[in-house]
Copies of this chain bind each other. A is one copy, B any other.
Amino acid sequence: MADPEILKTIAEATRLREGPAGVEAILRAVYRSGSLRLQDVAREARLPMPIATAVRRELEKAGLLERKQGLALSPEGRDFVERELGLGITIDVTCPACAGHGVVIPADFQAQVGRLAAIIAQAPSVDVTLDQAPCTPETSLLRALLMLQAGALEGRRVLLLGDDDSVSLAIGLVGQALGKADLTRGVVVVDADERRLAFLRENAAREGIALRTLHHDLRQPLPAELQGAFDTIETDPPYTLEGAKLFLTRGREALAGDGLCYFSFAQWPPRQMLALQRVFLDLGLAVQTIRPGFNAYAGATVLGNVGQLIELAAAGPAAAALPAWQGPLYTAEINPRIRAYVCTSCGREAVLGRGSTPETIEALKDQGCANCGGHSFRRKTGG
């Protein structure tokens, strides 16, 4: 039988911030579902993919997980989980109708999902250096409907800080479905990527959606005309603490007074969430709702493809203005790493996070070469 200390050993070997509880969360998730894809396990255990990959490898070495398609407990692993962790129950009380989101897209709006999907399919390629990772059309539309229901759209001035999720178009399509082109009192999109703004403008024009875009790097303060000029803000910023802080600070500056903020983010482990919550508090943003797993993304494998939606309410006076931001911001700036690899079997090049290639070398080794299926890679030098 496995050593009861094994969880601690693996947590230390993988430098797991969550400690043994993180390893246990993975075993728990696998036990519950029988067999799972790694990204489902990572999401359930709230661990980033590279970390989940590393823990998986250690669990395989320890003989608790079997090496096969998906994650599966070995007989020894099953015994360990039942005896040492005291688990024996597989139950799921998640609402099947809404997948636990608590909200659903009404039948009247299904046509808009198709419309938005067709538009998004034509979007410019994703710029990973800006941490772009578009959510699915369903997520985008559901976010707009949630905002509508909360009173954050009707008669409101709405600012989107970055919009690789095409939420501006989703809001417009919702207004059209309701026969109210003037649903809001104006939607403004600020984004650092002019290609994306052009895409939004073109499609808004084609669909008859009113939209104003502004090419602006949020590291710089908002133009004076946008400060204190909005009732609602929405953002899905870079998944770094700096990204959250910068985008939320600019958003807070944009609010006229009290107002609502729809904030999408990675599902960080508790210790990092505490740091994020300190940012909320410093900005006078009260958490109203947290919906884990609300946002589904097309390509963000590092995050296990889902993220949380946090509804914040600004309360009290706005924080002091933030001058221009000098520090690192995007993931690649904060966690710099070699991104280009070559398969040692066939020589095919793979760039992490581009196309269908995973974000990390660990996940790439796991997935195998797109050309030959090989699992060995070397860094591409001089690239």
Chain B positions within 8 Å of A103 at CB level: 93-95, 100
Q: A145 vs B95: C-alpha distance in the bound complex, in angstroms? A: 12
Q: A114 vs B278: C-alpha distance in the bound complex, in angstroms? A: 43
Does A355 belong to the interface (CB within 8 Å)?
no
Number of interface residues of A (CB under 8 A): 61
Does A362 belong to the interface (CB within 8 Å)?
no
Q: A89 vs B176: C-alpha distance in the bound complex, in angstroms? A: 12
Chain B positions within 8 Å of A149 at CB level: 91-94
Residues of A participating in the B interface, judged by any CB pair closer than 8 Å: 18-19, 21, 25, 28, 85-89, 91-98, 100-106, 142, 145-146, 148-149, 151, 154-156, 178, 180, 183, 185, 257-258, 269-271, 273-274, 277-278, 280-281, 284, 286-292, 313-316
Q: Are A258 and B95 in contact (CB under 8 A)?
A: no
Given contacts A286-B274, A292-B288, are A148 and B91 in contact (CB under 8 A)?
Answer: yes
Chain B positions within 8 Å of A284 at CB level: 274
CB of A158, distance to nearest CB on chain B (Å): 12
Chain B positions within 8 Å of A288 at CB level: 270, 273, 290, 292
19 more A-B residue pairs beyond the given contacts A88-B180, A91-B149, A277-B280, with a C-beta to C-beta distance below 8 A:
A85-B154, A85-B155, A89-B178, A89-B180, A91-B106, A91-B178, A92-B149, A95-B97, A95-B98, A95-B101, A95-B104, A102-B291, A270-B286, A270-B315, A273-B287, A273-B288, A274-B316, A289-B290, A289-B292
Q: A87 vs B178: C-alpha distance in the bound complex, in angstroms? A: 12
CB of A22, distance to nearest CB on chain B (Å): 9
Query: In the complex, what residue of chain B is closest to A88 when comparing beta carbons?
Result: B180
Query: In the complex, what residue of chain B is closest to A28 when comparing beta carbons?
Result: B151
Q: A52 vs B101: C-alpha distance in the bound complex, in angstroms? A: 29
What 3 pairs between A and B have smallest CB-CB spacing?
A86-B155, A97-B97, A270-B315
CB of A19, distance to nearest CB on chain B (Å): 7
> A102 touches which one: B25, B94, B178 (CB < 8 A)?
B94
> A25 touches which one: B93, B151, B271, B316 (CB < 8 A)?
B151
Q: Are B314 and A270 in contact (CB under 8 A)?
A: yes
Chain B positions within 8 Å of A258 at CB level: 18-19, 21, 270
Residue from A146, A155, A284 whose CB has the most chain B CB atoms within 10 Å: A155
Q: A291 vs B103: C-alpha distance in the bound complex, in angstroms? A: 12
Q: A180 vs B271: C-alpha distance in the bound complex, in angstroms? A: 33
Q: A137 vs B148: C-alpha distance in the bound complex, in angstroms? A: 32
Instruction: Please list 25 pairs of residues, one from A and one from B, whose beta carbons are closer than 8 Å in the complex, sorted by A's number.
Output: A86-B156, A88-B180, A91-B148, A91-B149, A92-B149, A93-B149, A95-B98, A95-B101, A96-B97, A97-B97, A98-B98, A98-B102, A102-B102, A269-B315, A271-B315, A273-B315, A274-B281, A274-B284, A274-B286, A277-B277, A277-B287, A281-B281, A287-B287, A288-B290, A289-B291
